[in-house]
Structure 1
């Protein structure tokens, strides 16, 4: 419904009917005029041929005439009309008629009805339905302009006064369906509805719920105001009665209050949560400010803002603060804690600027925020022990050679130890690779032409601190600053056709502003270390080279068998690295008062980029990478080619021999491998360390081979195995991502092995997606006849440690999660596991949800552990009526300091 909606369209009807006068002649038989005011006019009988002039009744009329008479009423486009049986105009009564499938189109407006009549004298238009021989009604009036649609039993309109009366209207207004027994159009912009109802149900004729009222004032695209309203569910009245309701109907976002929910907690008492105000700041930004209050004095405040600009950027900001009080003042267990969390996510559209980019992913705050928060029960976050942030800007200069520049601020926080590492910021610059002995368009072949060099610059301003010193003056005093220049030079070439050789050297110069001085204090009798401020520098270099090749082997079997061949690919490699001693940067200090013993130290200890080494590093590295692939018979009759199946994606052996070492020159042999089986559904990864050296009685490695000490060739020191299996009946890989992205943002997992997050500030999160809404729901959720849709994930982890002959299994756990569609409208999810080392059930969560068409109901339950809680929610899906809900929950009872 829009301003002047009926007037514009029905003026087009009037001008169209006026064109019939040139074909009309007077008929003696008096025609039957339909009184527009009578509601019974919705029952229209078929006109008789002698009553009005007909336009060729030899066959059904489906006539389209193009009228472009711009002098009458300002019509400036083609008017199309048609009717299946009858078009005519009665000169005596001045009534024009379109009968049976009557339709008029003008620009973006369309009017359809069984009968459309126009009275030229009274300037009244009537559109009504038809009644067939069986008494059934059909061809109800249907009016559409743009996206606005009106359906009714009959329409009566005056083209001069612009007033209208519509019986049994049904119109779609955004998320609302509005019905009315009688609708009166008072002027260009105001409609009054008598005995109306409104709902967000998709089935307007049989809604699962609706609000009924006797009076509705409706201003299209602006507002709906209703009187005393009663909520009906399945045609049954409920005690939910409102004296009045006001609904903004603008297409633009509107500011408004957010209704809180209430409950009680054993420690904090009764509470109101998530109440506040929503600010529709602009088309590009919004802000929601919410808060909580508990009767024991605890409170929380949150601000969440989303912003976006098409083809430019998008992002959101979350700021959370909670003041948590435990017990009562004066009691020994009384405590107060202030926790906060700041999140910021910003992404730039790739089309905005191809040569520069800005992005941000910030998650920082109190280490115990997610573990002690009373409002957000986000399990993935409470189980996680790290918070991290990154804000970066990069710029590419399209010069020759190309120059890249980036600035990055990083933050990493361990919530268990409450230690924080920050880089404010890190500067990185690089000049693209240069080939000094080859032109730009010349192929780079051979040792000389492949020689290339780069220039890299890295500057950093970093600090290690704790929660208690975060952003306090001491934190900035402890910052360390450094700048490192590096020029790598490398080349690669082939020898003996099959061997690839690479060689390189790297020169580094490091500038620092923080050094140390270490000396023995005669007074205190201790060695004291003093931090020094000022510029200093050191220079290092090294040399590396490697040679490798690829060996292919095929083991053929019966060509008609299931397995026809196995292909083995080996990639052996040998590497060599050499770093000289830089003892010129080392000094000594006495360790006792007599200065009988001195120790070496370097003033660059604890620097951002490490310190120059005093010992010579001269080592050889050995590596062997293997892959195994099977060629199997293809059971697909449409293909004669055998199919390839990967048996082992990788099987790696690596070790190292230090030529300069005087003992224990061999490092342990490390074995790693992985594969994917059963159509890539089962992921297997394993690893082990084998030490060639023996242990003495105290468990210390000695310079004696284990085989010479009465043992085997190698000694297993540690091993690990992880299995991940996911499968589904839905036809995909079964790798389900958690729809609650906030869990991953807070530091949790993207899948639901550790449960899904429940954000109390947004109860519209659902296990259903758009595809599920089209599923049938007969008899309240009929069970599936054949395959029940589900997805299941299993993760198994095993860790073994024998570094000191303890032969100990340090970790052995199984985690399981899944989601099952019990019926098309019932979903169930679960996450659980078992720790075989501690013999206990790990975190367990049960999730249930019912799609109630226009409503959503869910129940979440964590039955045990520190995060034990339950919550029940039922409410209307539509955001317009999202405050109509019932929410009951018991949040975890937590003690500050846990």
Structure 2
């Protein structure tokens, strides 16, 4: 016992007493697994649960929130019975984890390709070699990264070579913020950071800053920055500023700024810079463009303001002002209600001055123009549609549009407002429209209001309600109806008056009832009988009479309701014939000819013969026949004479199969279309007194070698003519003087285009996906009509700015030749009108960066070059330069433009244009 000292014995007694005092009333309780983020072992209660009545519900789990960690703590009621038997006394376990205040809200994930060093005492993590660090929406990749756990600051550093040049920069991404820097210091806790020598992009703008401070996920401040739209490391041009603030996707504001080119500063300073970066619609000022004009003087064009009123409505106001005192203003409101309708309007006023007051040639002209485009979504009201396309205004408006020769010589304006209604489950269709046509040259305006049409689709009255089995032939008997009513008012804008409108009012109506029957095919032959009844309602009758005193024809009118009608009966036959001729031991494998003959028997009684009369047309007593319904809105009625005869025609196409030397197997045989279609059609009237054989319509269309488009048509007359050129009842090959007849009308047109292969196939595909002029013409959104028209006008005035440098050369040629025999104005005979022209355009790259192009129009008849334009263009990467000259034409012009390609800086272009009019 001497080994046990009293001190050790006393200490042991004290420890046992203290532990017994702590655990005298203690009980063991299970800890809920929900209080841990993850469990190392499966949660299991080792204390057996007492039997409980199944009818009693388990108490709900109360929810608590830890204010220190902002976490939800779920506490579970103790499953061990409480020793306190007092009813309602439930003991709750309040055990929970507390998170430190300086803990991050989310874990930081990191990885490194080379190595990772963890310095435990310093609480630092060092990453080397293609590292990647992610925290919430932040992603950072860099060659070297250091993470300080105490300060929550991550530092990323770029690697350099032995000469000190940067090899790989640190790359930072957070939401829409993306930039590359030499050094990045970012605080995960405050979401702020400082970077040095940083490159970033905002829309089309590239920004470089020596020092950038990021204060949140959208806003950055830049010290000693440079911004440009050139995407090179050393840009061709830039704007330098000491202070710049950028709010991502909204705006960039700078302090005093000066431009530089090729690193050389330009001594031009701007007090501040304002660069909108937001996408979508936003209100703002529209900058003007400087221009000069001989007639209007020096001016500013396009200055205005764009205002977004709400989600469905916006307004654009633009104006032009010139030094001679002229001005113009255009107000363009647009509206849109999704799934219902959309449209735009355009109100333009012109106040044009020539010279100054007191000058003998002083002139003041006030004009206006109205445009309206509206369309209704078909899903709004199925079966009903409404559309409007209005272009109206002063007849001299286009003449005084500055610097736009294409509009100056546009003499036709047209408008249309249409409404249509289809009845569901019924074959009825109603169309109402109002049309407007205006000739700015003659100043004649035609208004058609209303223009109504009503149609009934083909009905089959003998068809059974329930189609069972093969239908009978008579069940395919169909009958339909189509009718129209039209009212038109014509007047000159200088003679506008209400009385004059009533005098020039014309109206008319037409009705047509077709009856068709589809008979079963008889082998390869298709037979289709038809019956048709037509009737027109006309407003006036006209009568011509020779005046021996004035030696002219006098015209008299009588107004009222007059009718003319016509019936026709027909029986048509058509089929197709195929023929193939094989070749052996030849690269020409086969020729294939397809012939489609048509033949019909027709009869039409003469119901209009009493509406024709003969009149002396000259002092020799020569007579011609006229219709008393000539000059009506619905035409001159129906033609005179009965018709009982046949109509016939043949349509052909020709193809060949060609063996290729390069390919083998099925790919060796290639099909080539030689002639897409050629043929004729005519008729023979057995009941006519003379000229029974009708004229022959000849046609030909083909695409030769898939390069040359060829179209030709002609009208052949097989009869001889008298001294006045009128056909007589004698074939051309009869009697003395053998002749094959004459061609009274003919036309032929050819067009082709050639171009080299693109330099860069990827760039060529991208340009093919972009819309061309034809695609722009198919734009149907009324909200884009005004912008589309402005773009098309600009492209026509400045074709040099839209040169494709990816195509080394291209050539386009087109030729047209036509003639027509028309009666002379005094009815003394016929005269032949001949026209022929040649159009050409080409583009040739002198060097990869220089392009030369020309286009023109040559009149073969007058042997004069009507229009010729040439331009030279320079590709300057982020800028473009074009010089265009039009030395020949109704208008001559000179144009020089140098401008950046970016849409943000499009108003910084330098333009010098001069127009010389010759009219």
The two structures have a TM-score, normalised by structure 2, of: 0.74
1:345-744, aligned counterparts within 5 Å? 345=373, 355-366=383-394, 369-370=397-398, 372-378=400-406, 386-399=412-425, 401-439=426-464, 441=467, 447-468=473-494, 474-475=500-501, 478-493=504-519, 497-508=523-534, 514=539, 528-531=556-559, 538=563, 540-550=565-575, 552=577, 554=579, 556=581, 558-582=583-607, 606-610=631-635, 613=638, 615-635=640-660, 636-639=663-666, 642-679=669-706, 681-706=707-732, 707-708=734-735, 710-730=737-757, 739=773
Verify the 8 A CA contact 1:621 1:654 in the aligned structure 2.
Answer: no
- 1:867 Cα deviation (Å)? 1.8
**Counterpart for residue 35 of structure 1:** none
Task: Provide the residue aligned with 1:866 in structure 2.
Answer: 890
Q: 1:467 to 1:406 in 2, by over 3 A?
A: same
Residue deviations 1:602-640 (CA, integer Å, cap 9, x gap): 997755434655844324353322324233332132327
Taking a change above 3 Å as real, the CA distance of residues 851 and 77 of structure 1, as seen in their structure-2 partners, is: farther
In 1: Cα distance, 2:284 partner to 2:800 partner:
21
**Distance change (3 Å), C-alpha of 1:480 and 1:842:** same
Aligned residue among 245, 270, 281 for 1:242: 270
Give the distance between the partners of 1:324 and 1:793, measured in 2 at CA: 40
Deviation for aligned residue 1:515: 5.1
Q: State the Cα RMSD in Å.
A: 4.5
SS in 1 for 2:735: helix
Pick closer, same or farther for the CA change 1:117–1:704 going to 2, 3 Å.
same
- Is 2:842 aligned against 1:818? yes
Q: Separation in 2 of the partners of 1:292 and 1:173?
A: 32
Q: Among residues 789, 792, 797, which one is paired with 2:816 in the alignment?
A: 797
The alignment partner of 1:819 has SS state of strand
Q: Match of 1:272, SS?
A: strand
Q: Distance in 2 between matches of 1:721 and 1:601?
A: 33
Q: Which residue of 2 aligns with 1:156?
A: 185
Q: How does 1:13-52 map to 2 (within 5 A)?
A: none
CA contact (8 A) 1:499 1:547 kept: no
| Equivalent residue, structure 2, for 1:253 | 281
Q: How is 1:119-158 mapped onto 2 (pairs within 5 angstroms)?
A: 119-131=148-160, 137-158=166-187
- Superposed displacement of residue 210, structure 1: 0.7
Partner SS for 2:917? coil
Name the counterpart of 2:621.
Answer: none
Greater CA deviation, 405-414 or 466-475? 466-475
- Report the Cα distance in structure 2 between the residues aligned to 1:612 and 1:280, rounded to whole angstroms: 55
Deviation at 1:334, TM superposition (A): 4.6
Alpha-carbon distance between aligned partners in 2 of 1:690 and 1:603, rounded to the nearest angstrom: 29
Relative to structure 1, is the Cα distance of residues 117 and 428 closer, same or farther in structure 2, using a 3 angstrom cutoff?
same
**Any gaps of 5 or more consecutive residues in structure 1?**
1-18, 23-67, 592-598, 747-755, 776-787
With over 3 angstroms needed to count, the CA separation of the structure-2 counterparts of 1:326 and 1:443, relative to structure 1, is farther
Report the counterpart of residue 11 of structure 2 in structure 1.
none
CA distance in 2, matches of 1:287, 1:325: 28
CA shift, 1:887, in A, is 1.0
| Structure 2 CA distance for aligned equivalents of residues 693 and 811 of structure 1 | 25
Which of 722-731 and 68-77 deviates more?
68-77
The 2-side partners of 1:69 and 1:798 are apart by 94
Contact 1:446 1:494 in 2 (8 A): no
Contact 2:658 2:672 (8 Å CA) reproduced: no
Which secondary structure state, in structure 2, belongs to the residue aligned with residue 860 of structure 1?
Answer: strand
Matches within 5 A, 1:70-219: 79-131=108-160, 137-158=166-187, 164-185=193-214, 191-203=220-232, 205-219=233-247
Q: Describe the shift of the 1:660–1:587 C-alpha distance in structure 2 as closer, same or farther (beyond 3 A).
A: closer
| 1:235–1:377 CA distance, 2 compared to 1 (3 A) | farther
1:227 is matched with which residue? Answer: 255
2:802 to 767, 784, 788: 767
Residue 845 (structure 1) shift: 1.9
CA 1:665 to 1:421, structure 2 compared with 1: closer, same or farther past 3 Å?
farther
- Residues 544 and 577 in structure 1, CA contact (< 8 A), matched pair in contact too: yes
When residues 483 and 555 of structure 1 are mapped into structure 2, their CA distance, relative to the original with a 3 A threshold, is: closer
Distance 1:355 1:293, change over 3 A: same
Instruction: Classify 1:495/1:133 alpha carbon distance in 2 versus 1 (closer, same or farther; 3 Å).
Output: closer
1:293-325 CA distances to partner (integer Å, 9 max, x unpaired)?
233333333345666677776665555444444
Measured at CA, do residues 556 and 423 of structure 1 come closer, stay the same or move farther in structure 2, by a change above 3 Å? Answer: same
The 3 A distance-change label for structure 1 pair 277 and 567 is same
Q: Which aligned pairs between 1:310-329 and structure 2 lie closer than 5 A?
A: 317-329=345-357
Give distance in 2, aligned partners of 1:279 and 1:374: 26
Aligned pair in 2 of structure 1 residues 179, 612: CA closer, same or farther (>3 Å)? closer
SS of structure 1 residue aligned to 2:812: strand
SS at structure 2 position matched to 1:843: strand
**Deviation (angstroms), 1:167:** 1.7
Q: Find the aligned partners of 1:139 and 1:792 in 2 and give their Cα distance.
A: 47
Aligned to 1:10: none
Q: Secondary structure at the match of 2:266?
A: strand
Q: When the two structures are aligned, how many residues end up with a matched partner?
A: 786
Aligned counterpart, 1:11? none
State the distance in 2 between where 1:789 and 1:528 align. Answer: 66
Of 861, 874, 898 in structure 2, the residue corresponding to residue 837 of structure 1 is 861
**Consecutive unaligned residues in structure 2, runs of 5 or more:** 1-36, 41-96, 617-623, 759-763, 781-790, 824-828
Structure 1 pair 718/86, CA: closer, same or farther in 2 (3 Å)?
A: closer
- Correspondences of 1:846-861 after superposition (within 5 Å): 846-861=870-885
Structure 1: how far apart are the matches of 2:190 and 2:104?
Answer: 19
Residues 566/857 of structure 1: CA separation in 2 closer, same or farther (3 Å cut): same
Task: Say if 1:540 and 1:696 are closer, same or farther in 2 by CA, change over 3 A.
Answer: closer
Residues 411, 420 of structure 1: 8 Å contact kept: yes
